[in-house]
Structure 1
Amino acid sequence: MKISLFYEFALPRPWVPDDERVLFQDGLDEVEAADKAGFSTVWLTEHHFLEEYCHSTAPEMFLAAASQRTENIRLGFGVMHLPPGINHPARVAERVSTLDLISNGRVEFGTGESSSVGELGGFNIDPADKRGQWEEALEVAVRCMTEEPFTGFQGEHIQLPPRNVIPKPAQAPHPPVWVACTRPSSVQMAAQKCLGALSFAYTGPGPLAERVNGYYKEFEEKGVPVTPQVNPNLLAIGGDLSMMVAPTDEQAIQRLGVGGGFFSFGIMHYYMTGEHVPGRTGVWERYLEEVDKDPTLAYGPGRGAIGSPDTAREFLRSYEESGVDEIILLLNPRSHEASMESIELLGKHVLPEFIERDEKAVEAKRKRLEPVIEKVEARRPASTAPVFDETYSFGGLPTGRGGKFTASEIPEAMAEINEGRVQAARLAKEQGE
């Protein structure tokens, strides 16, 4: 089992002007430490307008910076929202490919539909359309990464003419593709489409084993690839509380403080029960009020990698026994120094044995899935992408309705440039005489 980190970049109020800069700089230090410690991947979410709960609005920017401070850790979008009103699929392909190149092929391409009222409403997306938009955008984005040129797409939600989308990713044919899953049915959907399942719903290691077995059964029996490269893997959250490892259990619990359950509370607030006034509602304040009523929101034994290295090892072994491929550990808000020590202690005392077992497990899984993947590939449908029309071309000035010019700034600028050349030539001639 691989062990990874998951960032939301929570920033509870009150803030001071420098807090967001410090938040990202601390995160870069932590990812650099995680790379040295042997963590598999740093997964970074993308959310918009969800203040306090998540300030990770441009994950490709942070991951690009992290790529230059690390060597081995993989860089995961957990996830990039694919509705075109949030991220146009051609831009998705460009950003993912660029990050893959500058990181020397370390990108994990996690995708999702978006689910919160704040985001869907903020980008004027009808919830009834989000699955269809995700499906179209995934097809277009991956085709943009792999086709030269992209031959065009005419769908219900996306229309894109032929273009050669550049650059292309370092990983061929494309980085591993995942989809966010919050329900058993979405894990089943991921298996049917032969995508990696980012199972973000906390189940605990016992029920997780059933989910893992169901995913691989569905993959074998009904998997039909929707991307050129299949990705049969299932990732899960390692507990609903933030990670905190210290020399002793008592120290870890003390350092965790009351922040451990803020991730789960933020989900409830923004996705289910909360009424939010932008820039006014105090999410952290409301969380503390609920913790006062029920302290188990902030901490409960066995609900996270919390404790000494031995306690964390025992907790992680319970997940490893479920058969899950990868576990992500949450980071406690405003706990940079404690998180740095947690990463160091896990890297020194816990990760090496998991890495060793994972290397053997990956090879055994590869051999086990060889005949399964043959069956899956036999079900791959014929491509429906249009054949490129070799007579197609584009050029000239952009025109608007009625054939009128609507973008004359470039001709005007070129005219000024040409006039400048004429004047420069005249001046040079006069000086030469």
Structure 2
Amino acid sequence: MKISLFYEFALPRPWSDDDEHRLFQDGLDEVEAADKAGFSTVWVTEHHFLEEYCHATAPEIFLAAASQRTKDIRLGFGIMHLPPVVNHPARVAERVATLDLLSGGRVEFGTGEGSSIAELGGFGIDPADKRAQWEEALEVSIRCMTETPFTGFEGQHVQMPARNVVPKPLQRPHPPVWVACTRPASIQMAAEKCIGALSFAYTGPGPLAERVNGYYKQLEEIGVPATPQVNPNILAIGGDLSMMVAPTEKQALDRLGVGGGFFSFGIMHYYMTGQHTPGRTGVWERYLQEVEKDPTLAYGPGRGAIGTPAMVREFLRGYEESGVDEIILLLNPRSHEATMETIELMGTQVLPEFIERDEKAVADKAKRLAPVLEKLEARRPKSTAPAFDEDYSFGGLPTGRDKFTATEIPEAMAEINEGRVQAAQRAKEERAERERGQR
């Protein structure tokens, strides 16, 4: 089992002018330390308008910065929203490919639809359309990464003519594809499409084993590849995700403070029961009020990787026994110094045994799945992408309704050319003046 980190970039109020700047700088220091410690992947989410709970709105930018300070750790979108009004599929392909090139081929392409009223409503997305939008956008973004040129698409939610989308990713045919899964039905859907399942739902190691077995059973029996590259893997969250490791259990709990349950509270607030006034509602304040009523909320619904290295090793072994391929652990808000020590302790006293066992597990799994992958490839449907029309071309000025023509560039070029003419005339006059002076 691989062990990875998960960033929401929570930032509880009150805020100072430097807080967001410090948040991302601390995150980069942590990811650099995590790379040296041996964590498998850093997953960064994408959310919008979820103040305090999540300030990770542009994961590709943070991951690009992290790519230049790390060597081995994988860089995961956990997830990128695919509804076209949020991220057009051509732009998705461009950003994913660029990050893959910058990082030397370390991208994990996690995808999703979005679920909160803050985001769906903020971008004007009808919840009834979000699955269809995800499906169309996933197809188009992957085709943009793999086709030269992309030959065009006419769907209900995405329409795009033929264009050669550049650059192309370093990982060929494309980085591993994942989809966010919060319930058993979505895990089954991931298996049916032969892509990785990001199981963002707390079940605990026991019930998780059933989900893992169900994923691989569905994959083998009914999986039909939806992308050129199959990604047969399932990831899970660890407890309530929080990670805090210290020499003693008391130190770990003291350093965790009351923040361990904020992730779950934020989900309830923004996705289910909360009423939110933008820029006014104090989410952390409300959380503290609930913790005061019930102190156990500070640890979330299930205690995560919290305690001594020995306690955390035992906690993680339970998940390893479930058969899950990867587990993600969340970093506590406003706890940078304690997080840095936690990462160091994980690297020296926890991760080595899991890394060693995972290397063997990956090799064994490859052998076990070899005949399954043959079945999946035999089921792969023929491409429905249109053939490229070799006579197709585009050019000239963009023209819209009411005969509107975008003339900015011709006007700018005319100004540039006029400047060149004037510069040439001045140069000619200056030469003539010098020649007269030499006589």
Q: TM-score range by the shorter chain?
A: over 0.9
The separation in 2 between residues aligned to 1:392 and 1:300, in whole angstroms, is 57
Give, in angstroms, the shift of residue 430 of structure 1: 1.6
Structure 2 Cα separation of the partners of residues 98 and 241 of structure 1? 30
3-state SS of 1:239 partner: strand
When the two structures are superposed, what TM-score results if normalisation uses the length of structure 1? Answer: 0.99
Instruction: Identify the range of structure 1 (420-429 vs 51-60) with the bigger mean alpha-carbon deviation.
Output: 420-429
CA distance in 2, matches of 1:205, 1:127: 31
Distance in 2 separating the partners of 1:269 and 1:186: 23
Q: Is the 8 A contact 1:209 1:323 kept in 2?
A: yes
Q: 1:113 to 1:432 in 2, by over 3 A?
A: same
User: Paired residue for 1:78?
Assistant: 78
Runs of 4+ in 1 over 2 A off after TM superposition: 299-302
Residue 165 of structure 1: aligned partner: 165
Offset of residue 424 of structure 1? 1.5
How far apart in 2 are the matches of 1:298 and 1:321? 27
Does residue 185 of the first structure (1) align with residue 185 of the second (2)? Answer: yes
Q: Which residue of 2 aligns with 1:194?
A: 194
1:314 paired residue number: 314
- How many residues are paired up? 432
Q: Which runs of 5+ in 1 are unaligned?
A: none
Q: Does 1:350 align with 2:350?
A: yes
- Are the aligned partners of 1:83 and 1:134 in contact in 2 as well (CA < 8 Å)? yes
What secondary structure is seen at the aligned counterpart in 2 of 1:5? strand
Once the two structures are TM-superposed, the CA of residue 401 in structure 1 deviates from its matched residue by 1.5
Residue aligning to 1:417: 416
> TM-score, normalized by length of structure 2?
0.97
Distance 1:199 1:301 in 2: 16
Shift in Å, 1:428:
1.6
Does 152-161 or 293-302 show the bigger shift? 293-302
The 2-side partners of 1:165 and 1:420 are apart by: 34
| Rg larger for | 2
Q: Which amino acid aligns with 1:284?
A: W
Q: Distance in 2 between matches of 1:142 and 1:257?
A: 43
| Counterpart for residue 139 of structure 1 | 139
Deviation at 1:301, TM superposition (A): 9.8
Distance change >3 Å, CA 389–CA 234, structure 1 → 2: same
Aligned counterparts of 1:249 and 1:321: Cα–Cα separation in 2 = 24
Residue 237 of structure 1 aligns to a residue whose secondary structure is strand
Q: How does 1:236-385 map to 2 (within 5 A)?
A: 236-299=236-299, 303-385=303-385
Deviations 1:373-412 (A, max 9, x none): 100111100000000000000000011124x242111111
2:435 paired residue number:
none
Q: Hey, what's the Cα distance between the residues in 2 that align with 1:6 and 1:301?
A: 18
The alignment partner of 1:168 has SS state of coil
In structure 1, the partner of 2:9 is 9
Structure 2, unmatched stretches of 5+, are: 433-439
CA distance in 1, matches of 2:392, 2:419: 36
Q: Paired residue for 1:406?
A: 405
Residue identity in the other structure for 2:255: R
> What residue identity is the alignment partner of 2:221?
E
- Match of 1:217, SS state, is helix
Tell whether the 8 Å contact from 2:260 to 2:300 is kept in structure 1 after alignment. no
Output one character per residue of 1:62-92: Cα deviation in whole Å (capped at 9) or x when no partner.
Answer: 0000000000000000000000000000000
The separation in 2 between residues aligned to 1:307 and 1:365, in whole angstroms, is: 31
SS of 1:238's partner is strand
1:117-151 Cα deviation digits (max 9, x unpaired): 00000000000000000000000000000000000
Q: Percent identity?
A: 83
Matches of 2:424 and 2:68 in 1, distance apart? 46
Verify the 8 A CA contact 2:240 2:302 in the aligned structure 1.
Answer: no
C-alpha change, 1:210 and 1:40, in structure 2 (3 Å) is same
Q: Distance in 2 between matches of 1:354 and 1:235?
A: 15
Q: Deviations over 1:292-334 (max 9, x none)?
A: 1111111279620000000000000000000000000011000
AA of the residue aligned to 1:418: N
Q: CA deviation at 1:250?
A: 1.1
Partner of 2:437: none
Conserved? CA contact 2:49–2:119, under 8 Å: yes
